[in-house]
A and B are shown apart, each in its own frame.
Chain A
Amino acid sequence: MIVDCHTHWAQCFADRDGLDPAGWFRVPQQYGVTHAVMLPFTGLLHAGRIAQDNTDIAAVAKASHGRVLPFCTLNTWYRDEAISELTRCLDDLGCRGIKFHPWLQGQSVSTAVMDEICEVAADRGVPILFHDGTPPFSLPSQMAILAKRHPSVTIILGHCGMLEHWREAIEAMNSTENLWGCLCSPHPAAIRQLVRRCDASRLLWGSDYGFSFADMVGYRMEMLGAADISDELQNRLLAENPKRLFQL
């Protein structure tokens, strides 16, 4: 089993394949990826398309026979609509988590609505994955403070601080037990440090594949390989940790 914990479903795939994930999966399959956390893309760009994007990703997941784990997104500027959409995604669509891209969506993580969403996520046992690594809305420390306010929720740093904020991600994860990290974007030297200094049972791997046809899976897989971490540890990141998190 290999789980890619950071992928997207972009409009280019829907235009080409409808809601059939077979074509989308061709690239990940080349690298042995068996399961993928699928995050929205169109819904991150256009608040008016959030509901449709959530619906589409759930349909793609359904057609994948369990290989795709669908995540939904929400517009926290409108509290009632956000909570209603979250309920629909969890109850009717079977979404396995929630995704926010705070700077792209223009949503702060430090709002009462985000707190309310965290309470629902805690109650339903689903994780929240955030884009991170970029100010002003997407710093690992901001996610850590949110996670400390909601210790029952699993919050995932979608990029472990990326190229510049990975040291901050280490501090954030080490100070916050319910904060996980997805190794998707830090360079190999940073990956080495993250794996060495963080709780390896809370680390995942992801490629960011799926917002275009580009083969990001091979690139990110090689980046992980270039970090020279043991096979046993790689297996934890690629398989055991996501298996435990998503009860696969």
Chain B
Amino acid sequence: MNGEHMIIDCYCTIGDERETVQTSERLLQQMRASGVSRAVIAPQDREIAVRNRDGNDRMLSIASDHPAELVPACTANPWFGNDAVNEMQRSVRAGAKMLVLAPAVQGFMLSDDLTDDLLNEAGKIRLPVYVHTGPQSHSAPSQLALVAQKHQNTRFIMGHCGSTDHAWDMPSILHLKLPNLWFETSFVRPWVVTNYAAIAGDDRLIFGSSSPRNDLRMELTHLKKHWPVAEHPATYGQTLGDLLSEVIHDR
């Protein structure tokens, strides 16, 4: 705990290949050293792209060993159609609390209606949908804003806020004040977060590190310098905690 405020990291990966090599023990060690109480853990890229079930089961298993600290996310590639919906539902029934979509890794255009069934179902079970955004032409913040407007009953978390070059778009997207869209801070330049919060409010921002691509301690240290935990508990844990607590697992 950081004082009286719980810090929850919205996005970490536990994996064994490429740039996401990290054991659960290593992540827990980093969390404890940084004052992070809980972290959402997501599958690695190959699992996000094609081996959805393997990745989801791995996250559920790891999280079950550390239920107080690790929160399992699941993934489902929209190209699998009904199978993707079924896999998401199965994972949520087993305890998953967030859906991860990575259009650049999974190979779809974010604004493609290919995602409709998956997103509609996520909305029905109040499952937050974390979407990686970036400079690719198929997962831009503006595209996610359109998707969030289309799927008003589904809750979306914009991973990375389009970092870095789509930072230019962010003020206009934040000004939309979409009630079902939140903004995750990993890779957002820390001094820019104050500008984003001034438009959207600190309860729309959600702290995430993207460990191990990023260094958890470093990311948190720099963000706290510009955006102190004690003044903004919503950003560091309250908002995400609320979203995760409202997932319906028994539908």
Contacts and interface: CB of A to CB of B under 8 A. Distances in A.
Interface string B109-137: 00000000000000000000000001111
Given A135-B136, A163-B160, A164-B136, A187 B214 contact: yes
B20 interface: yes
Contacts of B137: 135-136
Contacts, number: 59
Interface residues of B, number: 22
Among B19, B20, B160, the one with the most A-chain Cβ atoms within 10 Å of its Cβ is B19
Nearest to B187: A163
Contact of B164 (A162, A192, A225): A162
A54 interface: no
Contacts of A163: 134-135, 160, 163-164, 187
B218 interface: yes
Contacts of B164: 133, 162-163, 185
A96 to B, nearest CB: 26
A190 B213 contact: yes
Given A133-B135, A216-B189, A223 B218 contact: yes
B35 interface: no
B20 A189 contact: yes
Contact of B191 (A135, A164, A214, A222): A214
A103 B135 CA distance: 12
A206 interface: no
Classify the secondary structure of B's interface with A. loop
Contacts of A222: 215, 218, 222
Interface string A173-196: 000000000000101111011000
Contacts of A165: 135
Interface centre among A136, A189, A193, A222 (most CB of B within 10 A): A189
Contacts of A136: 137
Contacts of B160: 163
Given A134-B165, A135-B135, A226-B215, A219 B222 contact: yes
Contacts of A134: 135, 165
Interface in A102-154: 103, 133-136
A225 B215 CA distance: 10
Given A133-B165, A163-B134, A163-B187, A188 B104 contact: no
Contacts of B212: 189
Contacts of A187: 187, 210, 213-214
A143 B70 CA distance: 42
A222 B215 CA distance: 9
B201 interface: no
Contacts of A192: 19
Residue among B135, B136, B190, B212 with the highest chain A CB neighbour number at 10 A? B135
- Which 7 pairs across A and B sit closest by C-beta, in order of nearness? A226-B215, A189-B19, A214-B191, A134-B135, A189-B213, A134-B165, A187-B213
Interface of A: 103, 133-136, 162-165, 185, 187-190, 192-193, 212, 214-216, 219, 222-223, 225-226
